[in-house]
Amino acid sequence: MADFFRDYFLKISSHINQVDLTLLEEAVALIKSVHVRGGKLILAGNGGSAAIASHVAVDLTKNTGIRAINFNESDLITCFANDYGYERWVEMALKYYADAEDLLILISSSGRSPNILNAAAKAEEMEMRLVTFSGFLPDNPLRKKGIINFWVDSSNYNYVEMAHHVWLLAITDRLVADLRCEVK
């Protein structure tokens, strides 16, 4: 049994450590620039990725003072999905809540979720900046949509989601550290 957990944590660590550190630094700089210009961060995903979006949005807002929101209210999701179709609900939420100076962060393990891809297209139409987090196949369509694209080389949902979560929280913690230095 202990071997399972040791191997499991080694695999997760391996996926977390495959990140390009330069991309993390670029994401931090991009978020700062959006904040300075008065924009907000919008995070969206499905399932576990939606939970990650919620966690990160709250931590960004509370710990850095950077405005961040997500679209995880059940009434919003069910209303827009009912009226526009599930594959368009995030796109339509962007239509009503996003501004051109905002930054959209889309999280999709497979990089193939139609509602997330439609949101990416809407962001491009609105001339919003986009950062993506995906996994699974290297040629997934979401991976090509952002100005910064994070990708996990795994088809295991938990490995992909854990890497995304850790990377996003690392970005948040870097912003917290930077903001503390600026305040001193």
pLDDT tens digits, 43-76: 999 999 999 999 999 999 999 999 999 999 999 9
Would you say the pTM of this structure is higher than 0.85? yes
Q: Has residue 180 got a pLDDT over 50? A: yes
What are φ and ψ of residue 108, in 5° steps? -150, 120
Enter the DSSP assignment of 63: H
pLDDT for res 182: 60
Q: How far apart are the first and last CA of the chain?
A: 48
- Over residues 79-118, the pLDDT tens digits come to 999 999 999 999 999 999 999 999 999 999 999 999 999 9
pLDDT for res 102: 98
Backbone φ/ψ region at 107: left (φ over 0), alpha (ψ -120 to 50), beta = beta
What whole-number distance in Å separates Cα of residue 174 and Cα of residue 184? 16
Domain span at residue 62 reads 2-183
How many domains, the chain?
Answer: 1
- Over residues 120-139, the pLDDT tens digits come to 999 999 999 999 999 999 99
pLDDT for res 29: 98
What whole-number distance in Å separates Cα of residue 145 and Cα of residue 123? 10
CATH of the domain at 89: 3.40.50.10490
Mean pLDDT score, 136-160? 98
User: Which is nearest to 128 in space by CA: 23, 52, 40, 50?
Assistant: 40
